Amino acid sequence: MTPTRKRRLIAVLLILAGVGVASTIAFYSLQENLLYFQSPSELAQQPIPPGRQFRLGGLVKPGSVERQGQSLTTHFVVTDGPEEVTVEYVGTLPDLFREGQGVIARGALDDSGRFAATEVLAKHDENYMPPEVADALEESGHLMTEGKGGG
Amino acid sequence: MNVETAKTNKPRKNAFVMFIHKMGSPPWFYNFTGKFIPWFWAIFIVLTVWGLYLGLVKAPADYLQGESFRILYIHVPAAWMSLLIYISMAIMAFIALVWRIRIVEILAMTSAPIGAAFTIVTLAAGSLWGRPTWGTYWVWDARLTSELVLLFIYLGIIGLYNAIDEPRKAARAACLLALVGAVNLPIIHYSVKWWNTLHQGSSISLMGGSSIDTSMLWPLLIMAVATKFYYGANLLTRARVKLLEQDIRKAWVREVLKEKNG
């Protein structure tokens, strides 16, 4: 390698190292803010005061969905295993909203500790399979219990 | 040509080094790649038709998402290409900056528009899938935002390259930007692991099992190979045109044009 090329190589590597260090620092300082949602456990550890907007993510607890008669009001429980939060939502839910599936709700806690959601999104997991396979898995009890929608 | 004369005083180089040297010569590169391009296009078209047929017609519908999951056969290969082309461009940018090989500069720079196109396809297809699945076209989570940033970096590279008149200086400046922008790549890839995102984790990994059923996996892999041939064909076609443009006054281009016009 000629001296000129060596000099260029060193210059380019130095620039890359500088950018690498700068972005690592930025990355660590931004880490908290880049969380798109909080899980019920994170919420239990670091409570968010009522009225402050945030996103709550987790699985819809099976058997917890209650629709109120003719109105669009729905109640359900979001859980990540150890902790759970009750959510109240008025509006239409996405097609993939199911018990046992992941959801992300935006809103704020009210004074009674219930989460009043203004928007509910379904979080899809990374599993893709045909219905027959899903049925077979469900029969053998492997589906749903494995869902890791919270993370 | 000067490679041949310079060689006489030096020890013999092996065949691979000779090949690399030859590829650095514009007329050689032009003629050599010209033989492959039609094949690349042909393989791309055959694989795409086959992959899309399997994916859109033959593959079973998903147990939860139904038919809309088929958008994956466009979205995922495009997303892989948006990253892969960037990696390829960054490596070539590095070589171009240190060794100043003109053809490598051209290849790095002509990668940018192709990568940008794949990024747009990724974002658009993902957005169309997000509406029925998540209930929204767009959210500002880490995965979606970092992929959008990738598009802006691609556009920045294209813009910078075109903003400077002297092509070699332009390429050097834009190559540096391409290298710096590479920090975004690990962020995009690991965003679904490092942060809570609405976007799901990877269904397919090189190590260990994939969480996608085999019957749905094959069309995806075929599409992934097809898009690589598309990149190859498109990149070489663009690079050859760029070479002709830059060398318009050189003898070899005149010969090529004479041959073309008969």
What's the gap in Å between the CA of B45 and the closest CA on chain A? Answer: 27
Shared domain for A48 and A29, answered yes or no, is no
**pLDDT for the residue B155:** 95
Look at residue B209 and tell me whether its pLDDT is greater than 70: no
Domain encompassing residue A8: 1-34
**A48 φψ region: left (φ > 0), alpha (ψ -120 to 50), beta (else):** beta
Within its chain, how far is the Cα of A131 from the centroid?
A: 25
Which pTM value belongs to this model?
A: 0.84
**Is A148 contained in some domain?**
no
Which of B117, B136, B112, B116 has the alpha carbon at shortest distance from B126?
B136
Whether residue B64 lies within 8 A of chain A, CB to CB, comes out as yes
A60 and A113 both lie in a single domain: yes
Grade residue B41 by pLDDT with cuts at 50, 70 and 90: very high
Q: What is the ipTM of this complex?
A: 0.71
Identify the helix (H) or strand (E) that includes residue A121. strand A115-123
Question: What pLDDT, on the 0 to 100 scale, is given for residue B126?
Answer: 95
DSSP-based three-state secondary structure for A39: coil
A20 and A44 belong to one structural domain: no
Reduced 3-state DSSP string for chain B = CHHHHHHCCCCCCCHHHHHHHHHCCHHHHHHHHHHHHHHHHHHHHHHHHHHHHHHHHHCCCECCCEHHHHHHHHHHHHHHHHHHHHHHHHHHHHHHHHHCCHHHHHHHHHHHHHHHHHHHHHHHHHHHHHHHHHCCCCCCCHHHHHHHHHHHHHHHHHHHHHHCCCHHHHHHHHHHHHHHHCCHHHHHHHHHHHCCCCCCCCCCCCCCCCCECHHHHHHHHHHHHHHHHHHHHHHHHHHHHHHHHHCCCCHHHHHHHHHHHC
Of B69, B40, B65, nearest in space to B240 by CA: B40
Instruction: Judge: A125–B200 Cβ closer than 8 Å, yes or no.
Output: yes
Verify that A100 and A79 share a domain, yes or no: yes
Residue A52 lies in a domain: yes
Question: Which residue in this structure is represented by tokens 């002709």?
Answer: B244
Cα–Cα distance between B144 and B127 in angstroms, integer?
A: 9
CA gap B75, B79 in Å, rounded: 6
pLDDT on residue A32: 66
Q: Is the pLDDT of residue B110 over 70?
A: yes
- Residue B203: predicted pLDDT: 81
For chain B, percent of residues with pLDDT exceeding 90:
65
CB contact under 8 Å between A5 and B99, yes or no, is yes
Residue of B195, B216, B217 to mutate when probing chain A, most A C-beta within 10 A:
B195
Mutate to test the interface with A, among B153, B200, B216, B217 (most CBs of A within 10 A): B200
**Is A149 domain-assigned?**
no
Is residue B10 scored above 80 in pLDDT?
no
Q: What is the DSSP letter of A14?
A: H
The answer to whether the CB of A120 falls within 8 A of the CB of A93 is yes
Nearest CA in chain B to A122: B134
Residue A66 pairs in a beta bridge with A75
Please give the residue of chain B at the shortest CA–CA distance from A138. Answer: B63
Of A3-17, A132-146, B16-30, B184-198, the range with the lowest mean pLDDT is A132-146
Q: Which residue of A has its CA nearest to B187?
A: A27
pLDDT at residue number A147:
40
Alpha-carbon gap: A113 to the closest alpha carbon of chain B (Å): 23
Segment B19-25 shows an average pLDDT of 84
- Tell me which chain A residue has its CA closest to the CA of residue B70: A128
**Residue A145 confidence (pLDDT) above 50:** no
The residue of chain B nearest to residue A9, with distances taken between CA atoms, is: B98
Are A66 and A101 found together in one domain?
yes
Do residues A79 and A30 both lie within one domain? Answer: no
pLDDT in the model for residue B53: 95
Judged by DSSP in three states, A38 sits in strand
Summarize pLDDT for A71-117 with one digit per residue, the tens: 888 999 999 888 889 999 988 888 788 888 889 899 999 988 899 99
State the Cα–Cα distance between residues B213 and B210, nearest whole angstrom: 8
Closest CA to A86 of A94, A77, A95: A77
Our count of domains for chain A comes to 2
Q: Decide: B252 and B27 in contact? Cβ < 8 Å.
A: yes
Select the residue of B60, B180, B195 nearest A34 (Cβ to Cβ): B195
Note which residues in 18-77 of chain A have CB less than 8 A from chain B.
19-20, 23, 27, 31, 34-39, 57
Q: pLDDT tens digit string along A24-53?
A: 888 777 776 667 788 898 888 888 889 888
Please choose, from the candidates B216, B189, B62, B199, the residue with its C-alpha nearest in 3D space to the C-alpha of residue B134: B199
State residue A119 phi and psi, 5-degree precision.
-150, 135
Residues A122, A105 share a domain:
yes
> Is A59 part of any domain?
yes
Q: What is the mean pLDDT of residues B54-67?
A: 86
Q: A131 and A108, same structural domain? A: yes
**Cα of B23 vs its chain's centroid, Å:** 20
Q: Is the dihedral of CA A90, A92, A97, A98 positive or negative?
A: positive
Residues A108 and A66 in one domain: yes
Residues A2 and A47 in one domain: no
A 75-104 → B contacts, CB under 8 A: 93-98, 101, 104
Write the CA distances from B89 to A59, A118, B85, B169, integer angstroms.
41, 43, 6, 17
B202–A36 C-beta distance less than 8 A: no
| pLDDT exceeds cutoff 90 at A146 | no
Query: Is residue B127 less than 8 Å (CB to CB) from chain A?
Result: no
Nearest Cα neighbor of B81 from B184, B231, B233 is B231
A8-12, B125-129, B187-191, B209-213, range with greatest mean pLDDT: B125-129
Q: What is the CATH number of the domain that holds A118?
A: 2.40.50.140
Cα B132 from chain centroid (whole Å): 29
Confidence of residue B147 (pLDDT cuts 50, 70, 90): very high
pLDDT at position A149: 37
Q: For residues A57 and A90, state if they share a domain.
A: yes
- B216 vs A20, A94, A128: nearest CB: A128
Of B134, B211, B215, the CB nearest to A127: B211
> What angle in degrees, to the nearest 10, is found between the helix axes of A3-30 and B167-181?
40
Do A55 and A94 share a domain, yes or no?
yes
